[in-house]
Amino acid sequence: MDLVDLATCADDFDAEVARTPKIDRFCSTTAWILPASSALMPPRAPFTLRGKAGYFAAMRGVHAAGFPYIEPVELAWGLAAPLIGADADALVEEVVAMLAGRRDWQLAILSGHTIDGPQRRALERVLPPRWEQRRGTPTIRHVASLDGGIDGFLARRSRDLRKSIRKSLRAAESAGVEFAHVRAGPDEAIALYERIQRVEARSWKATDGVGISQGAMRAFYAEMLPRLCARGEQRTLFARSGGEDIGYVLGAVLEGEYRGLQFSYNDAFSHLGVGGLLQYNQVVALCDEGVGRYDLGTEMDYKRRWAEEIVETEMLVLVR
């Protein structure tokens, strides 16, 4: 396998991601992993290699204790899969042979692959018995089907959630709240992000320092959004009142699946259920577009009401 510059082969890499089974495809693309690497991860050396069967998307570092390690390009959440290729058996054989032939690592982390996926089965078959295998805590995502359009989506939600949505729709209409979709081009990405940040600044997330208004998370999305706009994948919805933005929801569509990224709203309008209405109106638009699935992302209590499927990926740690 040959070392490659992931940024210069991004289009080919992302096309291979789209063909890879049983992974979080969006969070394995360069739109996610390159911003995460620069904004959220410590300094490391490139270790992305391309072989006959696909890619091994990784970085190499040296731990403070002195041992060298290999890990996925994004390990902030462990969502990205490093093994990228349609033929998992051939790819895993290539990668394991490559790793076995090198002496510049003692620990290798493989994350983002489903527990019952073809990559995991192939690894179990070909990993040398002298390499110790340790498993990390699984990462859980909530995914909703959009089959049957908005009526089908609502039919799969609880009675209480449907009642809450209807109540919020009436309250928002009485208060004059409107919703506006924005599909920005690459030259509009900076202005769109500034607009998002103005909403974020008036939310509880900014007050508590847990949103994307500052620090590494602000830098992460500042680098990601232009990539999404350039590819036509970005989907943003704003809630507006009195000519001003009071809420937003941001996500991306890839291969017929929507990945929710961030949403927030002005706390002064929380009594109208703006958060739920942003989710609802985004789902309506996605159904109209023909998108088949909505990945709400990693586990949080509120997401369980909006989704019916759970997807688990695991972290496998190899120790020489």
Residue range(s) defining the domain that contains residue 117: 2-139+313-319
The CATH number covering residue 245 comes to 3.40.630.30
Which residues, including other chains, have CB under 8 Å from residue 11's CB and lie 6 or more apart? none
Q: Say if residues 113 and 75 touch (Cβ distance below 8 Å).
A: no
Alpha-carbon 73 to chain mean position: 13
- Which of these, 297, 207, 192, lies nearest to 237 by C-alpha position? 192
204 and 132 together in one domain: no
DSSP 76: S
The span from the CA of 38 to the CA of 26, in Å, is: 18
Angle, helices 88-100/118-126, rounded to nearest 10 degrees: 40
113 and 164 together in one domain: no
152 and 269 together in one domain: yes
Whether residue 307 is contained in a domain is answered as no
52 and 102 together in one domain: yes
pLDDT at 302: 85
Angle, helices 189-200/215-231, rounded to nearest 10 degrees: 140
The residue assigned the tokens 């911003």 is: 35
Burial class (CB in 10 A: 0-12, 13-18, 19+), 3: exposed
pLDDT at 301: 84
Left, alpha or beta for 232 (phi > 0: left; psi -120 to 50: alpha)? left
Tell me the whole-structure pTM to 2 decimals: 0.94
pLDDT at 147: 97
Domain count for the chain: 2
71 and 91 together in one domain: yes
51 and 12 together in one domain: yes
pLDDT in single tens digits along all 320 residues of the chain: 999 999 999 999 999 999 999 999 999 999 999 999 999 999 999 999 999 999 999 999 999 999 999 999 999 999 999 999 999 999 999 999 999 999 999 999 999 999 889 999 999 999 999 999 999 888 999 999 999 999 999 999 999 999 999 999 999 999 999 999 999 999 999 999 999 999 999 998 988 888 899 999 999 999 999 999 999 999 999 999 999 999 999 999 999 999 999 999 999 999 999 999 999 999 999 999 999 999 999 888 889 999 999 999 999 999 99
Whether residue 296 is contained in a domain is answered as no
Whether residue 242 is contained in a domain is answered as yes
The span from the CA of 304 to the CA of 141, in Å, is: 10
Angle, helices 30-39/215-231, rounded to nearest 10 degrees: 160
